[in-house]
Amino acid sequence: MATFRPGDAVPVRRTSSPARRAALVAGVALLGLLTACGTDKGTTSTPQKLPGAAQPASGDATADSSGTSAAPSGSATTSSSASKSSSATSSGTGNSASSTRCHTSELRVSLGVNNPGAGQEHFPVVLTNGSHRTCTLRGYPGAAFLDSSGKQLGPDPKRSADTPTTVTLAPGQTAWAGLTFANPEVSGAKTATPATLVVTPPDERDPLKVAWKEGAVPVSGNASSVSLTVVRAGNGV
């Protein structure tokens, strides 16, 4: 064994070229593995596909008291009025109106008793504040009839020429909108029997559902249109 004294040059053992290449390849592979792990850790996973919600209804626009067209606020179909709905049916108080608005999760829907007259069927669609806070509703709800498979029956309801007003609901209080259509036996319109009525509160996107047990409704042909009023205080009785 060679003996080295201080100051002597330490001999360098040269690694053969193939061995150096192997070590280099191994180092690169290790670095790549570490980099991949770090990248995977920080990568955002693919966004979940959220379930669909009722979109703003199509239909005629009706001017509110400020002269702004009140966009419909919900039904089972898609419309370009989605981005306009919130501002169009607000009470005009900006963030205050948005912060006090009743959200779908705070409401319950029910169908009142039919009040027919002059060949027309009139059903109050009742929204109850089921939350623990006071909130407000303003404008038109969305509505659509669905069959048992979830397919919409007939066009979106039209909106009656009403002036939207802000309805304040304390916990447990109700507001209603009138759902009206000509009696199919009188009008001769083509009919279908829905399984469900989908209702979207004003300015909301998530729908509520109530079972429809009132028989056939007009879906096409003469006098097939269904109309919907703005929300009002009370239960429609």
For the stretch 187-201, pLDDT in tens is 888 999 999 999 999
pTM of the model: 0.62
Using left for φ > 0, alpha for ψ between -120 and 50, and beta otherwise, residue 41 falls in alpha
Find the distance separating the first CA and the last CA of the chain, reported in whole Å: 110
- Integer Cα distance of 181 and 5 in angstroms: 109
- Integer Cα distance of 109 and 130 in angstroms: 10
Angle at 68 between CA 125 and CA 159, to 5 degrees: 30
> Are 151 and 113 within 8 A, CB to CB?
no
Q: pLDDT tens for the chain, 237 residues: list them.
A: 555 555 555 454 554 555 555 555 455 444 444 333 333 333 333 333 333 333 433 333 333 333 333 333 444 433 333 333 333 333 334 455 567 999 999 999 999 999 998 889 999 999 999 999 999 999 999 999 999 999 999 988 999 998 999 999 999 999 999 999 998 888 888 999 999 999 999 999 999 999 999 999 999 876 778 999 999 999 988
Q: Which two tokens stand for residue 206?
A: 């998530």
Using left for φ > 0, alpha for ψ between -120 and 50, and beta otherwise, residue 80 falls in alpha
Using left for φ > 0, alpha for ψ between -120 and 50, and beta otherwise, residue 150 falls in left
The Cα-based distances of 13 to 1, 10, 25, 136 in angstroms read 15, 9, 20, 84
